[in-house]
Amino acid sequence: MKIKHLLLAVLLLGVITVSAQTKRKKSTTTAVTAGSELTRPKLVVGIVVDQMRWDYLYRYYDRYQSNGFKRLLNEGFSCENTQIDYIPTVTAAGHTCIYTGSVPSIHGIAGNDFIIQATGKSMYCAGDTTVKTVGSTSTAGEMSPRNLLTTTVTDELKLATNFRSKVIGIALKDRGGILPAGHAANAAYWFDDKTGNWITSTYYMNDLPQWVKDFNNQKLAEKYLKLDWDPLYPVNTYLQSSPDNSARYEGKFKGTDSPTLPVKTSALYKGHWGMIRSTPYGNTLTLDFAVSAINNEQLGKHSVTDFLAVSLSSTDYVGHQFGVNAVETEDTYLRLDRDLAKFFAFLDAKVGKGNYTVFLTADHGAAHNPAFLTDHNIPAGQWNEKGVLAGLNTMLENRYKVKRLVLGFGNYQVNLNYAAINKERLNADAIKYDCIKYLQQQPDVAYAVDMQQVQTASIPDELRGRIINGYNAERSGVIQIILKPGWFSGFSPTGTTHGTWNPYDAHIPLVFMGWGIKHGSLTRETHMTDIAPTVAALLHIQAPNGNIGKPIGEIFK
């Protein structure tokens, strides 16, 4: 009897188990039923704030309004420890990495400018003499994404929707609009200093759309410059900044006596529309144009997801001129905060709150001015790049009897003169060895690393990976120069710059908000290369073809 009862119990358990498995299978298969559609946001808006350090999210937090940066942080998901994966940390490489999930070694944008090693000729990242300017008689439109070797997440969206999605890139800087929009974009637009208009190139179209012409006819650049740049608050209340007479650290506008607010731009610009780049109004103008693009191109109103890539460039121009600790920089971010609040409110009304996804990040950060640091007893300095280059070439000339064997130190790299080396049948490896030995003797240089021998170099692993990722054999120099922390080259004694591996340059903000995004934050390390695959995962499309990043799964609902 006991055996019969045991067999019966086993039989009943089996029936229950099979029944439960059947129910689980049914519940799983009903998640996607016949006729159901895959949901995606109507619009993705990528915002790159040029030269925005990560800590700017919090440096001015107390004075931000409730619906700008604070809305991103309080409604969205912030990746608090996002790092750039390569050096040099410059605008073109940053915008490209954000949208490709790749690094210069693969995507080919090795700097804003770089030297083609085979010829010794300099190339601008977006330069393309095979195309013509559309919307101006200047040469500012001779640009395209052809130097980019990989696809972008915007390209992959076009491919995934059989090119039904609309993709548009917008920035004052040509590279800030072109590289994020990718190869297959409907359009990319940038600002022309000669006319004060938004222009493009024949890569995209042969004539500007009527709405762009109408926008240009408003002459908004002139209207904004006529407003002057007054501070939002009394200058003495900008507690996160140095006193507004810090001429030792800040660069002044031409025609002014000091780098202080207010700036009478109405009297200074005199038809030079490019001045708007170095004022907060450049960001305002960019977002005005973005609103017009959404309205007239009906972005977010199609049956598939559209994508608007916006880069806000004025933060970079202001930062370069005035530096991290200036009242002008603080005022620029407080004004940008208001502009973002207005822009988000527009998206809520036009596309619908919860129908769009936005992410905000930066292409790189910025360092404190070296003089500012040394005045506060913090080690820093300005590297005498020209002097070191001259000394190096003199040493090489004495040894090899050939002048200018090193073309320059662009992107903190040694670019050899291969035309002269090959002509004179010199040993390039011997010259490289001599360069490294000379550079290692310079007091401001921490490391001088042979790009092709980086795996065996006695350097921290963190630097090794970033050097490898930044090295493109056809477009990068043969030696990577790493200066000591706080040391820079390539800028005047005032203002600031960027380009290095250090946290002030490589730690960037990354905040997602809107459709498919939960509220929260993350402190584990994430990377600039993770942005594109995260957007791709959100949209259920393929990652770009050079992608090496990984989706940040924690952000998804």
Q: Which of 82, 89, 91, 526 is catalytic?
A: 91
Other CB atoms within a 10 A radius of the CB of residue 381 amount to 16
Query: Nearest CA to 549 among 140, 82, 116?
Result: 82
Place of tokens 């995260």: 534
Which amino acid belongs to residue 122? S
Alpha-carbon distance values, 218 to 125, 198, 289 (Å): 31, 11, 11
- Domain residue extents for the chain: 43-374+501-555, 384-443+445-483
pLDDT digits (tens, 9 = 90+) for 377-431: 999 999 999 999 999 999 999 999 999 999 999 999 999 999 999 999 999 999 9
What pLDDT is stored for residue 18 in this prediction?
Answer: 38
Residues β-bridged to residue 197:
192
Cα–Cα distance, 293 to 357 (Å, whole number): 17
CATH fold of 43-374+501-555 reads Alkaline Phosphatase, subunit A (3.40.720)
Cα–Cα distance, 253 to 256 (Å, whole number): 6
Radius of gyration from C-alpha coordinates of the chain? 26
What pLDDT is stored for residue 292 in this prediction?
Answer: 98
Cα–Cα distance, 206 to 96 (Å, whole number): 25
Which are the contacts of 117, defined by CB distance < 8 A and separation ≥ 6?
Answer: 415, 416, 418, 473, 474, 475, 476, 477, 478
Give the DSSP H or E segment for 21: helix 2-29
Residues β-bridged to residue 170:
189, 310
Look up the CATH architecture of domain 384-443+445-483.
2-Layer Sandwich (3.30)
Per-residue pLDDT of the chain (557 residues; tens, 9 = 90+): 444 444 444 344 443 343 444 433 333 322 233 447 889 999 999 999 999 999 999 999 999 999 999 999 999 999 999 999 999 999 999 999 999 999 999 999 999 999 999 999 999 999 999 999 999 999 999 999 999 999 999 999 999 999 999 999 999 999 999 999 999 999 999 999 999 999 999 999 999 999 999 999 999 999 999 999 999 999 999 999 999 989 999 999 999 999 999 999 999 999 999 999 999 999 999 999 999 999 999 999 999 999 999 999 999 999 999 999 999 999 999 999 999 999 999 999 999 999 999 999 999 999 999 999 999 999 999 999 999 999 999 999 999 999 999 999 999 999 999 999 999 999 999 999 999 999 999 999 999 999 999 999 999 999 999 999 999 999 999 999 999 999 998 767 899 999 999 999 999 999 999 999 999 999 999 999 999 999 999 999 999 999 999 999 999 99
What's the token pair of residue 449? 């690393």
What's the token pair of residue 440? 């290692």
Q: Are strands 526-527 and 82-83 parallel, antiparallel or unpaired?
A: parallel
Adjacency order of strands within the sheet including 406-408: 406-408, 413-416, 479-483, 445-450
Adjacency order of strands within the sheet including 187-192: 133-134, 197-201, 187-192, 167-171, 306-312, 43-49, 356-361, 510-514, 77-79, 520-522
The question of whether 329 is a catalytic residue gets the answer no
pLDDT digits (tens, 9 = 90+) for 160-197: 999 999 999 999 999 999 999 999 999 999 999 999 99
What pLDDT is stored for residue 454 in this prediction?
Answer: 97
For 447, list phi and psi in degrees, rounded to 5. -145, 150
Question: What is the model's pTM?
Answer: 0.93
Alpha-carbon distance values, 366 to 52, 242, 466, 538 (Å): 7, 16, 18, 30
Contact 166, 309 (CB under 8 A): no
Please, how many CA atoms are within 13 Å of residue 461, restricted to the half-sphere of its CB? 0
